[in-house]
Amino acid sequence: MNRTIVLVGILALTLVAAARGATIAEVTHWELQAVDADGVGTYDATDKVIVTGIVLNNPEEMLNPTPGTGFMGGQWQIYIQGEGDDHAGTAVWYGQYYAKVGGSGNYTDEELLDEMCRINRDPNTGYIFAAGDRVKVTGWYKFYKGKINVNEIHQVEPMFDFEVELLKPAVGLPQPELITLDMVKDASNQYIFDQTRLTGCEYYQARIVRINDVNIIDPENWGPDNTVTITDVNGLTFPVKLGIGDGFTRYDCPTGQIDVIAIFDQESSGYLVCKDGYRLWVVDYDGNGLALTDRGHKRGNLPGDINTDFKVDFIDFAEMAVNWLGCAPGLCDCD
Ligand SMILES: [Ca+2]
Ligand SMILES: [Ca+2]
């Protein structure tokens, strides 16, 4: 038998055995996101964790939940920001094709959709989560490229499921923390990494930040799931990952000096040294022209004004026609 299959099988059996006696503790995001001098996560006190905080994004604006999409298939991800003096945050991730990355199997399209229907809803009330809710997350965790994520550690067995529960609906997004690029980049335009996480990029990881008065220098890269670059007056630069919200298709790249409101993220270039790969992640844009963000407060109060240009006309109708009978995976057709 193929040696890899044997090893994966042994790993799976070991994990199943471990799951039955899994240890668990409620931890702060700050405790969970501790790193060593190489930026590698060090938390290992329990098998599973419980974290609470504010949901920063709607998952379908960050990763595509459609079954069979891309290398990992349909995916789902939310960021949870700690509150009070818990100055950190954690991503919660779910995907379809774990076997491609050494996991115990893959989900069928139907299994994926069923699970997304479950994790999009509070199990106690059926409430559909959205950015700005206070939640409690219980699950296994795994380090990946600079962050410890709550996920299923690539195991499809139900005992590796995570739970998202509502603590309070619609408390609102946290106030973005105002930063300047010289707080996260040094004079040589290199990322500032500080193992203590009290300064530099690690301090802001998985939290909402605001950077004022920057310019996008590569508007030709504007588009859903693309990356653009911002620069400040001193020439420091930072990558901005654009999500897959429909605003990146509907509206042009903002020009001139703008502000950016984003989730501060890391996906390092390596697995064992994780001191680079920081980026800002903006999941949608509402076309306002001055701040790269989705303010979430539509003007006009005209039902049917799909593109929010304060007119209901053929452009709205055409967009509706293109999306006719569309169904949001994990949100529509759930039992
Ligand atoms: Ca990190
Ligand atoms: Ca319109």
Write the DSSP string, 293-331. Answer: S------S--TT-TT-SS--SHHHHHHHHHTTT---TTT
CA of 106 to the centre of ligand 2 (A): 41
- Which helix (H) or strand (E) segment holds residue 292: the answer is strand 291-292
pTM beyond 0.85, yes or no:
yes
pLDDT tens per residue, range 287-334? 999 999 999 988 899 999 999 999 999 999 999 999 999 999 999 999
Quote the ligand 2 centre to 307 CA distance (angstroms): 5
- What is the C-alpha separation between 37 and 14, in angstroms, rounded? 30
Q: How far is the CA of 102 from the centre of ligand 1 (A)?
A: 23
Give the distance (Å) from ligand 1 centre to CA of residue 146: 4
Q: How far is the CA of 236 from the centre of ligand 1 (A)?
A: 21
Strand partners, 97: 106
Q: Strand 208-216 and strand 227-231: pairing?
A: antiparallel
Mean pLDDT by 10 residues, the chain (335 residues): 58 62 96 98 98 98 96 98 98 98 97 97 98 98 98 97 98 98 98 98 98 98 98 98 97 98 98 98 97 93 94 96 96 93
CA of 304 relative to ligand 2 center, distance in Å: 7
Of the candidates 298, 120, 80, the residue with the CA atom closest to the CA atom of residue 208: 80
